[in-house]
Amino acid sequence: MLKKLVKQYFLDKKYLPFTVIIIVLIAIRFLWLDKIPVGYAHDEVEYTLNAKSYVLEGRDISGYSFPLNFFRSETEGRISPIPPFLLSVYYRIFELGFASSRVPYVILNILTAFVFFIFIQKLFRNKSLSILALTIFLINPWVFYYSRWGTDNTFALFIYLTATTLFLCKNVIYRYLSFFILVVGFFTYHGAKPIFLPLTIILVVYSYYVDKAKENSLFIRNFLVLVFSFIIIFSLIDKRLPGLQLSGRFSEIFLFDNNIVGSIVNEQRKVVISNPFTQIFSNKITATLNILLSKYLQAFNIDTLFFKGDLRATYRFENHGLLFLIDIILIPLGLFYLIIKRRKEAVLLLFLLLIAPIPTAINEIETSVIHRSFLLIPIFVTLSSLGIIYIYQILNKKLIKTVSLFFLIFLISISSMNFFYFYFYRYPVASQENYFLSERVLANYLKKLESNNTNVIIVSIENRPLFLESLFYFGEDAQKTYLTGIYKDTEKEDNYYLDNFIFTNNCPKIFDENEIYIVSRNIDCFSGYKYDVLIQNQKDAGTIFKIYNDSVCDSINLTPWRREHKLSDYAIESMDKQEFCNRWINI
């Protein structure tokens, strides 16, 4: 079947140029994995180490193994069990490393692209549109970002899209299989849980109106019984065992936090002239609706989608949107084309578009679109592809076919080249701390101190994430020794230990000249002493870590700042001491 698919689509002379482009786009995903992104975010490190813990101990880093880990986790983000469990299979074969840990996400991203290709073909039955949509999906900035981002939403997109595609099949076995895949998706990402029920209802309603056969009605009834049975069973288990996966994340849903809504209402009522309508217009219902709508509409914010990226600083691009600028034109045109030409498909896609921002809308931890509204990606790419088809049809009437095709390819090529330039050359410097580059540098600095028996005290408010970052970069031997028991006695013990390195959030009481101190920029421990060297922010030369009693770079001539940035600089783990100090340590 696969051979037939490849021959029918990708080896057809008509689509050969697209096949070449697709191969190039796949190859680019493996480019400079050892350098870009320039570091690992805290969430990524926790997921990766969690997967490694399954390999070493058969349980997550908070001590829970299968099947209890589906319901209970005491990790920082109450990590969903499926992604690290699947990754553990990979880490049984390959060693955990900076580049190797990105590879599973690249492969998953490519698989997602081909699932999307099948989804479009099942929905529209149009070869040209399917090939075009696959190409646009692989070019899309939001999708490319996912190919190198190592957390659970990447899995959620793949699994929910796979389940949706299977549901669109006529084969009843595939359609029942889609339910079980949806359940896997439910346990893949907390942001996928709120749209589990809306997604299944939309698929069922769409199926009912498209195919009204008696057998379909029987399938729909059985499918809904499975869905609601699963929700009831899971809710009962979660309720009986408090503090688990679902109930543990309720604190992040502002609908369940009366303090947030209540404080807003109180503030509104304080700053109003006395009148009989205050309780009608300023109450918890109106405040809740206002917050919901405000967060929900951020998923369609033009600045977020086309200019700056996510609202949350950690995930913000700043110099590029989640989509291409040309998509401002393509998406509305695609939507118009969809409504006038394919109304049944328009209903399905529009309802999916409406439910996709729900995880963004209900979460109280800032307002983030890039991860929580992951289901928007296939919808926007579909609309963008339809917009290209529509423009091509219009141009074809006024220009010759070759000219109109060249014009569209030129616009798309310029957009994609601009993004790749941004991602590989501007993003690493401008957004280095989105990936905690300074902590990668610090970990490599510590590795060069490993043979030194002197105590090294690292002081940071975020000492646990900094410890995990260092453990990630220290490699296999350190992980085997220190990975287990990270969360034990955390209420009694504020410090984390890695060989002779102590990660603490408290300043030492005395300054010992025989010990090495590394202090985060936002802490002032030794006001009477001058630090020796610094780890700086590459964007603005601001101090991130101050190092006292340095013994790594003390014999090397250092500079106050770095003016030039080279791609080779980011192969940090392969640098010798001279190269490392010259490039990453400043005075």
pLDDT of 156 higher than 90: yes
Domain assignment present for residue 499? The answer is: yes
Residues 89-148: tens digit of each pLDDT: 899 888 888 889 999 999 999 999 999 999 999 999 888 899 999 999 999 999 999 999
% of the chain residues with pLDDT over 90 = 31
Three-state SS string over 126-182 comes to CHHHHHHHHHHHHHCHHHHHHHCCCCHHHHHHHHHHHHHHHHCCCCHHHHHHHHHHH
Domain assignment present for residue 133? The answer is: no
Predicted pLDDT of residue 305: 93
pTM as predicted: 0.88
Domain assignment present for residue 563? The answer is: yes
Most trustworthy range by pLDDT among 69-83, 137-151, 396-410, 491-505: 137-151
Mean pLDDT, the chain, as a whole number?
A: 83
pLDDT of 286 higher than 60: yes
Predicted pLDDT of residue 206: 87
Residues 529-573: tens digit of each pLDDT: 888 888 888 888 788 899 998 888 888 888 887 778 888 889 999
Residues 228-259: tens digit of each pLDDT: 998 888 877 766 665 455 444 445 555 555 56
Domain assignment present for residue 561? The answer is: yes
Taking residues 374-399, report their average pLDDT: 88
Domain assignment present for residue 474? The answer is: yes
Domain span at residue 191?
158-252
% of the chain residues with pLDDT over 70 = 82
Domain assignment present for residue 508? The answer is: yes
Q: Quote the number of domains for the chain.
A: 2
Predicted pLDDT of residue 489: 43
For the ranges 185-194, 390-399, 489-498, the lowest mean pLDDT is seen at 489-498
DSSP bridge partners of 535: 545
Residues 327-359: tens digit of each pLDDT: 999 999 999 999 998 888 899 999 999 999 999
Predicted pLDDT of residue 490: 44
Domain finish residue from 233, 252, 271 = 252
pLDDT of 362 higher than 80: yes
Domain finish residue from 228, 252, 276 = 252
Predicted pLDDT of residue 155: 93
Predicted pLDDT of residue 461: 86
Domain finish residue from 210, 227, 252 = 252
How far, in Å, CA of 357 to CA of 322, rounded?
Answer: 15
How far, in Å, CA of 426 to CA of 215, rounded?
Answer: 56
Reading the block at residue 514, the tokens are: 């025989």
Domain assignment present for residue 212? The answer is: yes
**What is the per-residue burial (b if ≥16 Cβ within 10 Å, else e) of 414-435?**
ebbeebbebbeeebbeebbbbb
Helix (H) and strand (E) counts in the chain: 25, 6
Reading the block at residue 281, the tokens are: 């217009």
Domain assignment present for residue 228? The answer is: yes
